[in-house]
Amino acid sequence: MGARTGTRQKMLGSAIELLRERGAAGVTIDAVLARSGAPRGSVYHHFPGGRAEIMTESLTLAGDAISDLIEEAATRGASGVLAGIAEFWTAILLASDFEAGCPVVSVAVGGSPEDHHLHPEVANILHRWHDTLTSAITAEGIEPERAGRLATMAIASVEGAVILCRVNRSTTALDEVVEELRVLLAAAVGR
């Protein structure tokens, strides 16, 4: 069972890497096999639903990993979330030489009509991020409606900054966005 589980995990990890680097359209059976080194027969052994099953599971796995990171960082307050997100994306961008972006966003904006079944899961993941950040901001004393708007702005700003970082091959956009979000949150709290 261990080797079978290892092959399955390698294939999912490869699919996530492909989502981050090439977007949803770049996740093909051939690309997953080439990246993971798994034999062709592994696809239907581990993923009888083929590409659709690989996409669904890799999206969920990636979404859960990022959500867990955000939730853990939220235990340190709203500024802890910003710091955690900044550290995470800086590490990903630098380690990938600015080739990797957000696997969740790649499914939201890319892919083909056959990937549209994934959009509800993308929405669930983004709601989870939003709810976590909203709660962290509310805990700082900001009323829930404004906290929700600030959470929306933070998510949109960080995801946009990741795109700018990739294009400009620099973490400057992320650094600037996170700093301005810190200033905005501090002003909202009255610090």
pLDDT at position 1: 39
Q: Check the CA dihedral 8-9-10-12 and report its sign.
A: positive
Distance of CA 16 to the CA centre of its chain: 10
Closest CA to 73 of 14, 129, 26: 129
Q: Are the C-beta atoms of 62 and 69 separated by less than 8 Å?
A: no
Ramachandran area for residue 11 (φ above 0: left; ψ -120 to 50: alpha; else beta):
alpha
pLDDT at 37 over 70: yes
Give the pLDDT mean for 90-105: 96
Q: Check the CA dihedral 99-100-102-105 and report its sign.
A: positive
Q: What's the first-to-final CA gap in the chain, in angstroms?
A: 55
pLDDT at position 113: 84
Whether the model clears a pTM of 0.75, i.e. scores above it, the answer is yes
Q: Are the C-beta atoms of 18 and 27 separated by less than 8 Å?
A: yes
pLDDT at position 4: 52
- What does the pLDDT look like over 113-171, one tens digit per residue? 888 999 999 999 999 999 999 999 999 999 999 999 999 999 999 999 999 999 999 99
The third-level CATH classification (topology) of the domain covering 56-189 is Tetracycline Repressor; domain 2 (1.10.357)
Q: What are the domain boundaries of the chain? A: 56-189
Tokens of 171: 């973490």
Q: How many CB atoms lie within 10 A of CB 99?
A: 14
pLDDT at position 110: 83
